[in-house]
Amino acid sequence: MPDTPALDVQGLTVRYGGTVAVDALDLRIPRGATVALLGANGAGKSSTLNAALGLFRPAAGTVRLLGREPGEAIRAGGVGAMLQHGGLPGETRVGEVLTLVRRRYADPWPVEDLLATAGIEGLLGRQVDALSGGQRQRVLLALALAGAPPLLVLDEPTSAMDVEGRQAFWTTMRGLADRGHTVVFATHHLDEADAVADRVVVVDAGRVVADGSAAAIKSRVAGRTVRFRCPGPRAGLAALPGVTAVGGVGELVELATSDAEGTLRALLAERAELPGLEVRGATLEQAFLHLTTRPTDERSAR
Amino acid sequence: MTDLLLFQLRRVGRNRQYVFFTIVLPALFTILFTQVFGAQATADGGQQDYGRLYMVSMMAYGAIGAALGATIRLAFDRSTGWLRQLRVVPVPPGTALAVDVAVGALLVLPSLVVVALVGRFVNGVELGLGSWLGLIAVLWAGSVVFVALGIALGVALDSQAAGAATGILGTALAALGGLWWPVEILPSALVTVAHATPSYWYASLGRDVVAGHAPSAPTVLVLLAFAAVFSAAALVVSRRRPLHAVAG
């Protein structure tokens, strides 16, 4: 069934006591896609992924992985996952755990290549309890990859890694995506979503608030930023056409504007020079804040 | 399943504390207490009786420790996240639990056999072949009570409480159930307590066999009741708090 989606969640609702963690969320991810679930802590990313993996029964909604029930898809060897609260058994060596897990798959990832891909060559003889945080994450990645599964689900996989570890990790993930694996990952790092995913799903308060390419999501923020150096007085800048906010540090002025062209025309008309002029689109961070910031009245009502 | 079983057996077997408390210590006790206290009993010609009963008690003590120690550790595998990880690996549902039950049951055997060998060849306990086999068989079968208890505790407790329980519970069951000293020498209040412990009835299984008859019906019924209660507890708790649920 190669035409069924890799991950298909419809009307997913997850409640913890009285709190709604995931609110009638729909998410369909075709095979071969690399998708970031982007959201702040508590936005509902983990709950969505854990429910998708069948780790608990949601209050409502349906979940299909590769066209099957999650448990079935996992037992068929179609899914590999790095969980936020997953871990390794004590009193074992890395090699023993890896062998145990690889043997569960009919067609496991060849071991030498698996070790190189996960970056754990030389760790096989190591006691699990003696691993560093980053090494532990890489071993967990190796377990997730052990069956060479078509679908990889990664819940904040780089949380225990340093900057270099994160870069190496995402290089690996891009390589897997190029080989046709579907990669779905949760993150609150905007740069990860921007750099790795060909689709970003922004989750807030248990709902999807934006879904598209990183560029498309950035463009959801219509505004532009006009920057230039201005040693003199700044009076009147806020009154320029389109300007919604005046910021900047020292000589640098940053005008947030809803009408970049109008702002520029007015600036050029009244000033002889605009040193260091730049006009920029929104960053993913601005888009993210824009998308996930709730209206003030709703916030004050809390 | 076989892979996972061997994996778990290796992990437990390489724990030196576990091997010490479930095999070495009961064996040493069997030698020490039979030689020291048994010597006083020799005057009354009771050495053979004493040696038999103390051996049975130590077989029970070792088996209880082995069954509990091998199963309560479920709590550790939950707290590390390993049981959760196993859920996203192709393993049939219930396998992790079934394997730990099997590990608990299997690891009871070395304790029983080693203490029996010490009883026979160091302390000179004499029994017919049928009695030896019967003794090991009833104590092995009866250990299901403590496997069930250990699973229930392993599912219910967090890793810290589980660590404490492993140490305390075996000792408490041995002391209160009359495994370290005969119940007959205890004040009547403590006899009542002893009769409320599964360890007392468990050792009774073996005492009946070495006395030359089948385990009494009350003994078997009480143990079945304990096994049912502990299994039900394990089932209820694991429903509410699945093995792969986040420790907390």
pLDDT (tens digit, 9 = 90+) per residue, A172-190?
Answer: 899 999 999 999 999 988 8
B80 → closest Cβ in A79, A83, A87: A87
Beta-carbon separation of B88 and A81 below 8 A:
yes
pTM of the model as a whole: 0.84
Collect all residues with Cβ–Cβ distance below 8 Å to A11 and sequence separation of at least 6: A24, A25, A26, A60, A61, A62
**Chain B contact set for A76 (CB, 8 A):** 90
Tens of pLDDT, residues B136-166: 999 999 999 999 999 999 999 999 999 999 8
Please, which residues have CB within 8 angstroms of residue A92's CB and are 6 or more apart in sequence? A127, A128, B7, B11
Section A200-223 average pLDDT: 85
Search chain A and give the residue with CA nearest B75. Answer: A89
- CB B85 to CB A140 under 8 A? yes
Candidate from B4, B90, B245 with C-beta closest to A77: B90
**Residue A36 predicted with pLDDT over 90:** yes
Q: Do A92 and B93 touch (CB under 8 A)?
A: no
Lowest mean pLDDT among A18-22, A234-238, A297-301, B91-95: A297-301
pLDDT above 70: percentage of residues in chain B: 95
Residue of B nearest to A79 (CA): B88
Centre a 10 Å sphere on the Cβ of residue B101 and count the other Cβ atoms it contains: 20
Helix (H) or strand (E) holding A203, with range, is: strand A199-204
How many Å separate Cα B200 from the centre of its chain?
12
Which residues of chain A make contact with B99, given a CB cutoff of 8 A? none
Q: Which of A18-22, A25-29, B40-44 has the highest mean pLDDT?
A: A25-29
- Res B176: pLDDT: 94
Task: Tell me if chain A has a CB within 8 Å of the CB of B240.
Answer: no
Establish if B246 touches chain A: CB-CB under 8 angstroms. yes
Per CB-CB distance under 8 Å, the chain A contacts of B7 are: 92, 96, 100
Could A103 and B82 be called an inter-chain contact, meaning their C-beta atoms sit closer than 8 Å? no
Question: Nearest C-alpha of chain A: how many angstroms from B226?
Answer: 31
Q: Which residue has the tokens 């088996």?
A: B63
- Sign of the Cα torsion B65, B71, B75, B80 reads positive
Q: Which two tokens stand for residue A139?
A: 């071993």
What's the pLDDT at A296?
41
* Closest residue, chain B, to A141 (C-alpha): B85
Return the residue of B nearest to A149 by Cα.
Answer: B89
B4 at interface of A, judged by CB pairs closer than 8 A: yes
- Provide mean pLDDT across the span A76-105: 95
Q: Where are the beta strands (DSSP E) in chain B?
A: none
Residue B60 has pLDDT above 90, yes or no: yes
Q: Which residue(s) pair with A199 in the sheet?
A: A35
Provide mean pLDDT across the span A135-146: 95
Average pLDDT for residues B237-241, to the nearest whole number? 90
CA-wise closest residue to A254 among A265, A245, A263 = A245
Does the pLDDT value for residue A90 go beyond 50? yes
What per-residue confidence (pLDDT) applies to A154?
96
Q: Residue A89: which pLDDT band, with cuts at 50, 70 and 90?
A: very high
B101-112 confidence digits (pLDDT tens)? 999 999 999 999
- The residue type found at B130 is G
pLDDT of residue A294: 53
- Phi then psi for residue A153, to 5 deg, are -115, 120
Contact A91 B91 (CB under 8 A): no
Inter-chain touch A87–B88, beta carbons under 8 Å: no
Contacts of A209 (CB under 8 A, 6+ apart): A202, A203, A291, A292
* Interface mutation vs chain B, best among A53, A100, A140, most B CBs within 10 Å: A100
In angstroms, rounded to a whole number, what is the distance separating the alpha carbons of residues A291 and A266?
30
Nearest to B244 by CA among A63, A15, A91, A57: A57
pLDDT of residue A300 exceeding 60: no
Instruction: Please name the member of B11, B84, B247 whose beta carbon is closest to the beta carbon of A91.
Output: B11
**Structural domains in chain A, sorted by start:** 7-218 (3.40.50.300), 222-281 (3.30.70)
Looking at the predicted complex, does its ipTM rise above 0.90?
no
Residue B93, chain A, CB below 8 Å: the answer is yes
Q: Which residue has the higher pLDDT, A160 or B166?
A: B166
Instruction: Please say whether the beta carbons of A197 and A287 come within 8 A.
Output: no
| CB-CB contact of A60 with A12 (8 Å) | yes
Residue B44, pLDDT > 70, answer no
Give me the residues paired with residue A16 across strands: A19
Chain A residues with CB inside 8 Å of B245's CB? Answer: 56
Which band of pLDDT confidence, cut at 50, 70 and 90, is reported for residue A40? Answer: confident
Helix (H), strand (E) counts: chain B: 13, 0
Cβ separation of A56 and B245 shorter than 8 Å? yes
Selecting from A91, A101, A146 the residue whose C-beta is nearest the C-beta of B15 gives: A91
Residue B126, pLDDT > 80, answer yes
Which residue of A55, A91, A143 is in closest CB contact with B87? A55
> Do the strands A243-247 and A151-155 form a parallel or antiparallel pair, or are they unpaired?
unpaired
Angle at A200 between CA A25 and CA A140, to 5 degrees: 90
Long-range contacts of A253-261 (CB under 8 A, 24+ apart): A253/A227, A253/A228, A253/A229, A254/A225, A254/A226, A254/A227, A255/A225, A255/A226, A255/A227, A256/A223, A256/A224, A256/A225, A257/A223, A257/A224, A257/A225, A257/A226, A258/A222, A258/A223, A260/A224, A260/A226
What's the gap in Å between the CA of B65 and the closest CA on chain A? 19
Interface probe with A: pick from B77, B80, B89, most Cβ of A within 10 Å: B89
User: What is the H or E stretch that residue B33 is in?
Assistant: helix B25-42
Specify the higher pLDDT residue, A235 or B176. B176
Phi/psi of residue B45, each to 5°?
Answer: 70, 20
